[in-house]
Structure 1
């Protein structure tokens, strides 16, 4: 994955990451990997395009989409978690499912608990839909990120929360919630009669020795109030194909979804289903290599950054949450590095409470690109400190 690469070739890509980078800017912002997708996925897409692009076999029976059984099999094999394929729904986007569930199950003014900082589109969704954010702050410790369980319980109770949105592994910190943390969240949800939307899209990029645990796998009580969201899009770099799955353990949510007109939320394409199914069935070797590359890149970030930029190695995924407060900048760190290093990062404040003074770096790229990116960031930081 870290072979030499021509940056000029990357700049010819049509995806948003490089297309919006600018002629002299290196993009480390949006969460796309630069690596090619698995050969098997490319092959099945070519075969599909060369063959039949008519209505798929499951078109008139969306309850027989092949991803339902494939996802159930994957949960059983990877996490020993039994999933009813009939409770698996297929959608185009994770954010789409989040918005649908909130629209069906909550009302404007309802309080929603979310660990912060968090994925900006989730915050924007709550704002636009008029739902009230109850932030559960992530806390940086000596060995990683955590949160105050007792404070979460009190904040949920005091604000009369209707739901919890859990992002596990967490975006942007890369924290993987352990069994004790998940059990505490489950207990809070059950005690306060909350339903839970558990975004687990980064779960298959969990790094050793950490282990991902699906929240709904902890027991029947939490399972029957949880909607688990997942996709092959982050794991196998397929975001542009627009395909995700939702295991809807909450019967109230299932009833609300089933009562909607069948085409109201659109349908995934035949090619996106083919690609996802192939990645899950045949992508294990590619995924193992990619995870090793990401671990090496993560460690390179940690070794190359100046000490004034604090970085806790993420337990999952390819996102570096950079604490730039030690630089004492007079502007958002992402804006600073875009101007002075020609490196585009994501702005920390966009991630909500706890994001000020931070920036997010995507390190899922080829080693020479990452080395140049980190060199530019380090030089800009040093020049600022030497002023």
Structure 2
């Protein structure tokens, strides 16, 4: 088990603690509308812990922005000044929080990171070139390349403990071989989904060296950038060097940190002249589906909801501590350095079925099956920690009871 780095203080009662499982089921989200029933003793009902969204109510200013959109009938096509306002808010937040304020003129709207990924593959890579993906990985990155007619090269992540333990790290030698065999694009997700790693500057510099050696490109998915803990701090990949800036398309969104995925607004950040010019010529279709209320809400999130984010991070840190202290015999638990997603390795349980299926049946807890994250994830599970602490406590108790 990867332990929490410090012993956490007792966490006082928080308003999020009142969010019961019954309340979340009544809300109708995909995460909590999983069909099926479950009961053991006095415990009843499935606990949704798979979709990467938070159960927490959005910041008041974000909700107000959506209400203002409705009250003012702001449902038309996006005007340039609202896009510019969002780009300026994005740049200011990234500069203050992450140490890199990209040129607002090079921050462009897209509905989501997957739209940015699709556009990057189509417009910024060699036709027919393969895509390199460290695994386990965010599930759509495994399926979308084939939809675009591209081969996918899965590169299992390594562990830095030498004996199969320790932190997840990128296998740079395998990435190098994939580029040498003709691949054109590396998908870099940082902070990493689903392992929760926050890659440090030395690791990112090593990635740049490999990519530059082969004239490759990087799609940098940084959607979880604000969600880091302890001494771990996200460093935008394109900001690490001129070489990285020249070969990278960065994608992000306020949707993870401020819990707004349904508002359909992300950002593409272009970090060199050539890419900015090429996007201007080719990016119209990718931008076109961005939702106007999402742009206005995103601007409010980046600009005015930092206090809400700080509060959520503190609450999530308490949930990390709860996971680290849980009695889960036989599971190798990775507590995330960033994101609210934990990785549970159940290969040591010796089950004759995927562990995720076992825990749905025996614990009523629905997690992402690791096999959906690539071959390297088989036998593992992705657990979403972004629920109320009482509900997370029950989920972990159910998992522990199933194990014992």
Structure 2 length-normalised TM? 0.88
Q: Secondary structure at the match of 1:180?
A: helix
Q: Which moved more, 1:116-125 or 1:8-17?
A: 8-17
Post-superposition, which runs of at least 4 consecutive aligned residues in structure 1 deviate over 6 A?
none
Aligned residue among 372, 375, 381 for 2:397: 375
Q: Distance in 2 between matches of 1:300 and 1:64?
A: 40
Aligned residue among 151, 163, 175 for 1:152: 175
Give the superposition deviation at 1:284. 1.3
Aligned residue among 152, 156, 160 for 1:137: 156
Aligned residue among 181, 184, 187 for 1:162: 184
2:331 touches 2:346 (CA, 8 Å); kept in 1?
yes
2:347 touches 2:379 (CA, 8 Å); kept in 1?
yes
**Count of residue pairs brought into register by the alignment:** 379
| Residues 154-183 of structure 1 deviation map (CA, whole Å, 9 limit, x = unaligned) | 3322x2221111000111000111011000
Q: Which residue of 2 aligns with 1:16?
A: 30
Q: Which moved more, 1:170-179 or 1:45-54?
A: 45-54
Aligned residue among 303, 307, 319 for 2:325: 303
Give the superposition deviation at 1:275. 0.9
2:75 touches 2:293 (CA, 8 Å); kept in 1?
no
Aligned residue among 304, 311, 326 for 1:289: 311
Aligned residue among 67, 85, 89 for 2:108: 89
| Residues 1:28 and 2:49 aligned together | yes
Give 1:220-299 correspondences, 5 Å limit: 220-260=242-282, 262-263=284-285, 266-299=288-321
Give the superposition deviation at 1:359. 0.8
CA RMSD of aligned residues (A): 2.0
Q: Distance in 2 between matches of 1:107 and 1:272?
A: 32
| Residues 65-95 of structure 1 deviation map (CA, whole Å, 9 limit, x = unaligned) | 3211111222222233241212111000110
Give the superposition deviation at 1:334. 1.1
| Residues 358-384 of structure 1 deviation map (CA, whole Å, 9 limit, x = unaligned) | 0111010001111111111111122xx
Q: Which residue of 2 aligns with 1:385?
A: none
2:142 touches 2:374 (CA, 8 Å); kept in 1?
yes
User: Structure 2 vs 1, CA of residues 154 and 6 (structure 1 numbering), >3 Å: closer, same or farther?
Assistant: closer
Q: Structure 1: any 5+ residue segments left out of the alignment?
A: 383-387
| Residues 327-378 of structure 1 deviation map (CA, whole Å, 9 limit, x = unaligned) | 1110111111111211111010000121111011101000111111111111
Q: Distance in 2 between matches of 1:81 and 1:264?
A: 24
Q: Distance in 2 between matches of 1:108 and 1:329?
A: 43
User: Structure 2 vs 1, CA of residues 64 and 148 (structure 1 numbering), >3 Å: closer, same or farther?
Assistant: closer
